Amino acid sequence: MALHLLLRVLCLCSALAVALPARPPSVTIGALFTFDSVIGSSAATAIQLAVDDINRDSTVLRGTNLSVLMQDTMCSGFVGTIQALELMEKQVVAVVGPQSSGIAHVISHVVNELRVPLVSFAATDPALTSSQYPFFVRAAHDDAFQMAAVADIVAHFGWREVTAVYVDNDYGRGGVDALGDALEALRSRISYKAAFPPGADRAALADVLVRANMMESRVLVVHVSPDTGLDLFAAAQTLNMMGSGYVWIATEWLAAAIDSSSSSTSRNKMMGLIQGVVTLRQYTPESDAKRSLERRFAAARPSSSTMNAYGLFAYDSVWAVARGIDAFLGDGGNISFSPDPSIRDANGSALRLSTLRVMDQGDQLLRKVMLANFTGVTGRVQFDAGTRALVGPAYEVLNVGGTGVRRIGYWSNTTRLSVSAPSTAIGATNGTPPSSQQQQLYSVIWPGDTTAPPRGWVFPNNGRPLRIGVPYRTTYKQFVSKDASAPDGVSGYCVDVFKAAVALLPYPVPASFVLFGDGVKNPSYGELVQRVADGFFDAAVGDISIVTNRTRVVDFTQPYVESGLVIVSAVKETSSNEWAFLKPFTPGMWAIIGAFFLFVGAVVWILEHRFNPEFRGSPRKQIVTIFWFSFSTMFFAHRENTVSTLGRFVLIIWLFVVLIINSSYTASLTSILTVQQLSTGIQGLDGLLSSNQPIGFQVGSFARSYMMEELGVPASRLRELAITDYADSLQRGPGNGGVAAIVDELPYVELFLSTNCQFRTVGQEFTKSGWGFAFQRDSPLAVDLSTAILTLSETGDLQRIHDKWLNPGTCSSQSTDAVSADRLNLNSFWGLFLISGVACFIALIIYFARILCQFCKYHGGGGGSDEAAFPDPERSLRRPARLSSIRDLMSFVDMKEAEARRAIRSRSGDRRLDRSIGGSSTSEGPSLSRPSSMSPV
């Protein structure tokens, strides 16, 4: 039985061996790169070491030998294409390389046609991720991520403009395009692109740098190849562009050049050229495999110090291809090639295109390569299915200083700038990417051996002054307008403020003032700002309001004048009538005041009646006293003195209330007889909007768009006016072709009202803004001038310029506040009346409680003896006596205090005598009456 089972197993294995094709004894891959380049010299050794390691590893390819054919592209697209075709003739199953993005673009068309996977370790042009190149796999990180890291560095130090210095090929243009997109996302931009052709000599590089140095930006991002980049820095040093004030940021090519320096002499010479430069290096975490490879690399190439990052990625690229081939063969894949009828030689051609073969299983092998997922010397190797590039991009941020480089931070697409190493786990994130304020870097030593971050820009030295637009005002020219006698052709308050602010800058700012407008009427300030946004003007100087729609297209400086829209209306004096003295208070307020005067007078009379002889007398005299005392307190002229404590307490509180009422009445009456002699039909913004009368606005002002868009005022109500027409239009009024009111900015209105006393502002400012100087977006001049304007304000120079141009007129002493006032009513004083009323009630309660206590003492004990003297049947006969008690109480209340006390003492003495006599009778009674009472008869 066991023998039978064994035979069946052997038969099954034989069948499987027949079904699965045998693994080929060897497979060949190709490698394309420039042998004598910085990248290629490192990649050549790394690729060979990878092939050797794969052939020694029994777990990969299992019996199939891997060989590699290397072809030198010589940094030429043409030569690279020829070399690629020669590789394809030898029927390689995959190609590692090329290192050049330009060559990769060309070769990708070849591998697409022949269906051979192309795995590049150094072609970083973002455009290669296009679906146009389905067989291109990037075993490195896309330049889009590297440029995002550069943009974050720029934003971290607050720079807004950079100059891009790059080689003018696919690699350079693709990287700079990605840099522009990354900067734009952070509200920065490339202000100048300094491109030079591949292979440019030192003179051509110097010429490019001279043009770049004429621009304002001093932040230069260098994106070139490592073979020519050092020549660029040598030219920069010759031009004194490696000193303080400059910022140099190099992409990862510089780190590769530093790592590949062959000797200490050449390394020290290199370091002398690039002091203070910030550069990037593709991040590869430390591991035993990486250290082992670097040791073997050093042994194989003693002339080179270390393996650069491109060599590490080339090593992992070969492993990714080998693992893909192993997986392909393990699934029963069979490598075969077949001719393509569309690829043939033309008549008489010696190119031998007909020898090229299409790999039949290229699609399957490509899928296996894309499924790679292992840990290599560069970290985790895994490809994104959409971009066909390595996932988890990360970079080291390095700073050149002394004889070496130091790491100042890291960048990854999850943590952005950080001083902590990024996680190498696939998909690992640290939550939401940090903002620019949360990103961190260690301190940087900048060119010129300084640690203070450079400003990053200077005024451009290109010989062209700033072209500044100035509104050609025809009215109120003291703000800004044409002045033929002035050196610049313009003058005014705004121009002087601008010149004073520029004088405070630490660098010269040559400017050319250009008038904007036809000189017939004031120009449109919205159009002036748009000219700045379009680049026709570099800036605009004048009475330009900072409003929302303008801030969307230009940058403004700090406001140098506070402004806002106000309403101006014609006013007329109203004569006071004989009853004007009643206007300060409403009728209800007058009634409450009169009632409280009588109430407080009555309370004081009650509290003083028993103590003060001035509050006693005949009923007629007492009523007159109440009225006299009540109303005389209004003028603090009461002649009656208060002697009781409660009376004084009530009077003090009431006199305080009277003081407040008198003061309020005086102030209100003064306002009515002076300021409020001015009256108008429109009292504020609400009245303006609710009416249907025409409204005027200044020519060119933003008030028109604001009233239409924000307040909903129809265009039919709006009248465009010159300031010289304000007075006439307001005086004529809406009935005679004029306007009911004018809406304009406060500085203009103040100047207008200073010479036109018959007009006033009504209501309050209903917008808050200011005047500022407009610059193109992200102009660093806007920031520096804002600081200068603040300095002018702090030193008082801004006010002195204001007083020079905007002197007050004859009406300056008159108030321009709103000409509206309300009559005083109970709502403003009910608290005072409440306090006074409560004080009166408390005093009355205390007073009557004291009276009742005294009355009880006066009649104490009397009720009990009466009830004992009469039996119950006779109590009904005593009820009329209660009326007598009430009369007694009223008489007691009307007594003087001294009389009441004497009566209480007298009654108390009588009661003590009665109790003494009554006690004696009681003790003798039983003995005298007892016999009779006990008699039965």
Least confident window among 60-69, 156-165, 333-342, 809-818:
809-818
Give residue 768's pLDDT band: very low, low, confident or very high (50, 70, 90). confident
pLDDT at 118: 95
Contacts of 816 (CB under 8 A, 6+ apart): 749, 750, 753, 760, 761
- Does residue 897 carry a pLDDT above 50? yes
pLDDT at 124: 93
How many angstroms separate the CA atoms of 453 and 159, rounded? 10
pLDDT at 917: 59
Q: Which pLDDT tens digit goes with each residue over 544-553?
A: 999 888 999 9
Range from 568-582, 765-779, 885-899, 908-922 that averages highest in pLDDT: 765-779
List, as one string, the DSSP characters of 112-123.
Answer: HHHT--EEESS-
- Does residue 894 carry a pLDDT above 70? no
- Does residue 811 carry a pLDDT above 50? yes
How many angstroms separate the CA atoms of 738 and 759, rounded? 14
**Residue ranges of domains in the chain, CATH in brackets:** 26-140+293-343+353-382 (3.40.50.2300), 143-292+393-418 (3.40.50.2300), 466-562+774-797 (3.40.190.10), 580-671 (no CATH), 679-768 (3.40.190.10)
Q: How high does pLDDT run on average in the chain?
A: 82
**775 touches 782 (CB < 8 A):** yes
pLDDT at 927: 39
How many angstroms separate the CA atoms of 353 and 86, rounded? 10
Locate 27 and state its tokens. 């497979």
Instruction: Give the containing element (helix H, strand E) for 561.
Output: strand 561-563
Greater confidence (40 vs 847) lies with 40
Locate 625 and state its tokens. 């006293």
Range from 294-308, 337-351, 705-719 that averages highest in pLDDT: 705-719
Contacts of 683 (CB under 8 A, 6+ apart): 762, 763, 818, 819, 820
Q: Which of 307, 397, 334 minimizes the C-alpha distance to 21?
A: 334
- Does residue 822 carry a pLDDT above 80? no
Locate 778 and state its tokens. 């992200």
pLDDT at 876: 43
How many angstroms separate the CA atoms of 285 and 441, rounded? 19
Q: Which of 614, 585, 603 minimizes the C-alpha distance to 826?
A: 585
Greater confidence (699 vs 626) lies with 699
Q: Which pLDDT tens digit goes with each residue over 419-439?
A: 999 875 444 444 455 655 567
- Does residue 779 carry a pLDDT above 60? yes
pLDDT at 750: 87
Average pLDDT estimate for 624-644: 66
pLDDT at 605: 75
Locate 779 and state its tokens. 């102009």
Predicted model pTM = 0.66
Least confident window among 37-51, 784-798, 809-823:
809-823
List, as one string, the DSSP characters of 27-91.
Answer: EEEEEEE-TTSHHHHHHHHHHHHHHHHHHH-TTSSTTPEEEEEEEE-TT-HHHHHHHHHHHHHTT
Q: Which pLDDT tens digit goes with each residue over 474-508?
A: 888 889 989 988 888 999 999 999 999 999 988 88
Phi, psi of 113 (to 5 degrees): -70, -40
Q: Which pLDDT tens digit goes with each residue over 442-471?
A: 999 999 999 999 988 887 766 678 899 999
Greater confidence (306 vs 124) lies with 124
Q: Are strands 278-282 and 394-401 parallel, antiparallel or unpaired?
A: antiparallel
- Does residue 31 carry a pLDDT above 70? yes
Q: Exposure of 434 by Cβ count < 10 A (0-12 exposed, 13-18 middle, 19+ buried)?
A: middle
- Does residue 804 carry a pLDDT above 50? yes
Q: Which pLDDT tens digit goes with each residue over 148-172?
A: 999 999 999 989 899 999 999 999 9
3-state DSSP call for residue 247?
Answer: strand
Give residue 510's pLDDT band: very low, low, confident or very high (50, 70, 90). confident
Locate 862 and state its tokens. 């009397």
pLDDT at 686: 82
- Does residue 638 carry a pLDDT above 80? no
Q: Which pLDDT tens digit goes with each residue over 266-296?
A: 788 899 999 999 999 999 999 999 999 999 9
